[in-house]
Chain A
Amino acid sequence: MDSLILEISTRGLHRYEPIDDEVTTLGRALDNDIILSDPTVAPHHLKIIRHQDGRLELINLAVVNPTRVGTRPIDTRELTRLPVDIEVGRVQLQLLARDNPVAETRPLAGNGRRGHLFGHPYWAILLALTCICVDALDFYLNSYNSFKWSDLLKYLLRETVLTIGAFVLALSILERLLVNRWEMKQMLTSVSLVYLMFAGASVIVVGLDYLLSASWPSTLFHFGWYLAIIPAAIAIYLIHISHIKRERSIVLALLIASPIAVPSILQSPELQALLDNFSSSASYHNRLSHLNWHLRDSVSIDRFIEQAKELEPGEIAD
Chain B
Amino acid sequence: MRVLNRETGKKSSIGSGFIVGDGSRLATNYHVISQVILEPEVFYISFIGSDGQEGELKLLGLDVAHDLALLGAEHSLGEAIEMSPLPPRGAPIFAMGNPLDLGLSISVGTNGGILNQTDDSRILFSGSLNPGMSGGPTFNASGEAIGINVATARNDISFIVPSRFLSALIEKSSSDGYGAETDLKAEVARQVLAYESRYIEQLLESDWPNLDLRQFKLPGVISPTVRCWDNSAKLSAVALYKRYQIRCTNQNHVYLDEANSSVGRLLYEYYWLESEDLNAIQFYNLYESLNKDQVDAKLDRDMVSNFNCETWFVEVSSQQMKSNLCRREYVEYQGMSDVLFTAALTGHEDRGFFITLILTGVDYHATLPLIRKFLENTEWTP
Contact = CB atoms under 8 A, between A and B. Distances in A.
A15 to B, nearest CB: 59
Interface residues of B, number: 65
A288 B344 contact: yes
A316 B282 contact: no
Chain A binding surface, main DSSP class:
loop
Interface in A264-306: 277-290, 292, 294, 296-302, 304-305
Given A292-B346, A317-B306, A282 B368 contact: no
B380 interface: no
B284 A315 contact: no
B274 to A, nearest CB: 12
B206 interface: no
A277 B352 CA distance: 34
Interface stretch (B90-98, B101-109, B226-234, B313-321): B313-321
A290 B294 contact: no
Interface stretch (A44-52, A128-136, A140-148): A140-148
Contacts of B376: 301
A313 interface: yes
A314 B282 contact: no
A288 B352 contact: yes
Contact of A297 (B306, B307, B313, B364): B313
B368 A309 contact: yes
A314 B305 contact: yes
Nearest to B302: A317
Contact of B309 (A285, A297, A316): A285
Contacts of B236: 145
A290 B308 contact: no
A300 B283 CA distance: 27
A288 B284 contact: yes
B315 A313 contact: no
Contacts of B279: 141
B280 A290 contact: yes
Given A145-B236, A313-B364, A283 B352 contact: no
Contact of B316 (A284, A301, A308): A301
Interface in B225-265: 236, 238-241
A150 interface: no
Contacts of B329: 313-314, 316
Given A284-B326, A311-B325, A290 B281 contact: yes
B284 A289 contact: yes
12 contacts: A144-B275, A146-B238, A282-B324, A282-B328, A284-B311, A286-B292, A288-B322, A290-B280, A296-B312, A305-B368, A308-B325, A317-B301
Interface of A: 140-146, 213, 277-290, 292, 294, 296-302, 304-305, 307-309, 311-318
Pairs of residues from A and B, 5 with the lowest C-beta to C-beta distance, nearest first: A314-B306, A284-B324, A282-B307, A314-B308, A282-B326
